[in-house]
Structure 1
Amino acid sequence: MKMKLSVLDQSPILTGTDPKEALQQTTDLAKWTDKLGYHRFWVSEHHSTSSLAGSAPEILAAHLAAHTENIRIGTGGVLLPHYSSYKVAEAFRVLETLHPDRIDLGVGRAPGGMPNINLALNRGKLPSIEDYPSQVEELMAYLHGQDPHGMDIYATPKGETAPPVWMLGSSGTSARLAADLGVSYSFAHFINGRGGIRAMDRYQDHFTTSMQQSNPNGNVSVFVVCAETDEYAEYLASSLDLALLQIEQGGKRTHFPTPDEALSHKYTIFEEERIQENRNRMIVGSVEKVKEEIEQLAESYNVDEVIVNTIVTPFEDRLRSYELLADAFQLSHSKTTMT
C-alpha cells in the first residue's frame, strides 16, 4: 500500500514575523502541500501562547478549506472538554456541508496551554476530564444525525456525509479509548517519542466497530526536517532543538528561534542530554535518510500514513522540506475521499 504523507501545522511565529504573517504562512503551506499531493492538513489549538498563532482551529480550517482543492482539512485537534459537543458538531456539520468528504474532526482532551487556560475557557471552573468519553460518543451521534438524549434536537445542517472523528493522543489510555469508541487514532510521536508503538498496538488489537467505521484507522505525527544534505538539515533542526528546550523550561517565548540563535546558545550538559532525548521525536536529514526513517516509523507503528510537522526558519526552507518529501514519496495530487 502506498504511503500517505500529511501535514500538522501549529502556525509557529518565526523570528521577524508576527501572528498575522504566521497565519498567512499556514495558508501558503496548505496551498503548497495541496499542490504537492499531501493527503491531509491539520491545524492545532493552543491558547495564550505567544509563539503559536493557532487558537481557533475550526475557524482556521474553514479558511484553509476555502483556499485549497483536494487536500483533506482538519483539526489536530479541538480540545473537546472545553466545549459543548453539540456546538462542535454543528460547526463541523457546516464545514462538511461546505466541503463534503474533505473535513476531519480531530479531538483531544489537553488544556491547550498553561493550567489556568482551563479556568479561562470554562468560566472559572475546571472541565470534567471524566466526561470526555461520553462527550466523544455524544459528538459522534450528533455528527451522524442522531438525537442522543431524546430531546428532539439535531446538529444542523444535516447531510449524507459526516466528518470522521480522530482521537489524538500520546498515551496508551487515549489509544484504548479510541478503540473502545470505534474512532480513528493519531499518535503524537512529536510529543512523546516513546511508547507510541505499544499504544498503536493497543488501539488496533482492541478496536470496536462503530457507526463511523468498521476497521481501525491510525496514523502517527512526527517532527521532520528535510534538506538537500544532512549538514544543512542539522543546521535547520538546531533551531527546533532550542525551541523544544525552551518549551520544557517554561520560559517566555515570543517566537521560534533561528538556527544562528540556536548555534550561539551556550548549552549545559543537561541541555545537551535533553536535545539527544528530544531527537526521538524528530526525523532529521537528507532526502534519502528521512525517507528511510519515515518508512521505518510507519512500519513500526503498522500504519500507512505519517503526519509531518516541520518548524524551521526561514519559511522558504519549511516549504522546501515538504517539497523534497513529496518528490521522494512520489506524491500525486489526485482527489480522494478516503478518511
Structure 2
Amino acid sequence: MNIKLSVVDQSPVHGSHSRREAPELTLELARMCDELGYHRYWVAEHHDSIHFANPCPEILVATIAAQTRRIRVGSGGVMLSHYSPLKVAECFRMLATLYPDRIDLGVGRAPGGSGLSSAALAYPYRPLHGDAYEQQAQLLGQFLDGTVPANNPFHSLSVMPDNEPTPERWMLGSSGGSAGLAGKLGYDLALARFIAPDHCHPSIFEGWQQAWQKAGHQRQPNKLLGIACICAETEAEAKLRAGTAVYRKMTAQQGTPENFLTPEQVQDRYRQMSPSAQADYDHILSGYTVGTADQCLAEMEQLSQTFDCQEFALVTVTHSHYDRMESYRLLARHK
C-alpha cells in the first residue's frame, strides 16, 4: 500500500486517567507514533472544552518536537481568527528554525470553542468570527515567505533574522468553504472528513487544485484526508470502543455534552434511545472507519481511490488511553 499514516490528536480527556494527565498522554502517544513510523503528528486547538485539553497547539508542538526524532509535528490547526498573523508566523518560524524540515503550520477558520471563549480571546476587542480570515491567511503566508508587498505598512518587518527555514503551510477545511482560498494563497489542503463526512466530497480537492493552478504556484501541492478511525483486534470490539466518540459527537450536535462515557455506558444509552435517535447514532458511526486493522486499511484504500489522496490523518477518540494507543499500534503493524 502507498498510503501514508499520520495523526491528528485532539488531546482527549480520557475517562481512564485524570483530566490533568491529558497533555502528557498526548506526549506518550506522539513518542510511540514516532517509533512506529507515522508521517506527521498534528495537535488540534480547542477552548472551553470538557472533552479536549489543548488550547495552545504551539506549546504542544514544541514539546512533541523536542521529545521525538523524525516525525513531522504541527498544528491541526491554529484557529487563526483569534490571533495576529505576525505572532503565528513568529511562533512557527521559530519552531521551524529549531526543528528544520519537521514543522507544519495548519490553520483553520473555526473558533474551536464557545462564543464566550471567542469573546475572551478577543478581549478587549470584538471577536472576528472568521470575517477577516482571508486577509489573515494571506498576510500570514506573506510573513512566512518574506513577501509582504512594498505598499503594505508591514513590509519592513522581519519575522526572524533569516527567512529560512519555514514550516509547511496547510489550511484545514471540512466542507469546501476554504478550499478555493487555500489554492489561491498556496496552502496545502487538509480535508477533515472526521468533522462532516456527509459534506466531504472529492470535488473539494478538485476545486482546490483548480484554484492552485489558476494562481500559478510553482511547487507541487500536498493534500491529506483526516478521518475518524478506531481499530481493535475484532470488528465488534472496535465498534464498541467507537461508541464513546460517536455518542460524544451526537450529544455535542444536540447541545447537551457530557463527560466521556465508557463503551458499556454508551450501549446502555443506545438501548434506551428512540428509533430515530438510534438511527442518528448509526449514521454517525457509518462515517467512521472502524474495525480490524485489515478492515480499516481496506477502507482507507477505497477512500484513497475515491479522493485521489494517499495520506490519511487519523483522529482516534476513546474512553481508554490504552485503547487509543492500541488502535494506532495495530494499524502501523499491519500496514
Deviation for aligned residue 1:276: 2.0
Contact 1:181-1:208 within 8 A present in 2 as well: no
Matches within 5 A, 1:178-327: 178-196=182-200, 197-208=202-213, 214-253=219-258, 255-265=259-269, 266-327=272-333
- Secondary structure of the equivalent of 1:155? coil
Deviation for aligned residue 1:147: 3.9
Q: TM-score, normalization: structure 2?
A: 0.93
Q: Which residue of 1 aligns with 2:14?
A: 14
Aligned residues: 328
Q: Distance in 2 between matches of 1:17 and 1:289?
A: 29
Letter of the 2:179 counterpart: A
Contact 1:183-1:210 within 8 A present in 2 as well: no
What do the CA deviations read for 1:268-297 (whole angstroms, capped 9, x no partner)? 222211112212431011121111001111
Q: Which residue of 2 aligns with 1:161?
A: 165
Deviation for aligned residue 1:242: 1.4
- RMSD of the TM alignment (CA)? 1.8
- Are 1:121 and 2:121 an aligned pair? yes
Q: Distance in 2 between matches of 1:195 and 1:248?
A: 16
Matches within 5 A, 1:112-151: 112-123=112-123, 124-127=125-128, 129-148=130-149, 149-151=152-154
- Are 1:52 and 2:52 an aligned pair? yes
Query: 4+ residue runs of structure 1 moved beyond 6 angstroms?
Result: 209-212
Name the % identity.
Answer: 38
What do the CA deviations read for 1:226-271 (whole angstroms, capped 9, x no partner)? 1111111111112222111121121242x32211111121222222
- Secondary structure of the equivalent of 1:173? coil
Q: Which runs of 5+ in 1 are unaligned?
A: 330-339
Moved more, 235-244 or 85-94: 235-244
Q: TM-score, normalization: structure 1?
A: 0.92
Letter of the 1:137 counterpart: Q
Deviation for aligned residue 1:183: 1.1
Letter of the 2:164 counterpart: E
What do the CA deviations read for 1:97-121 (whole angstroms, capped 9, x no partner)? 1101100000001111122222111
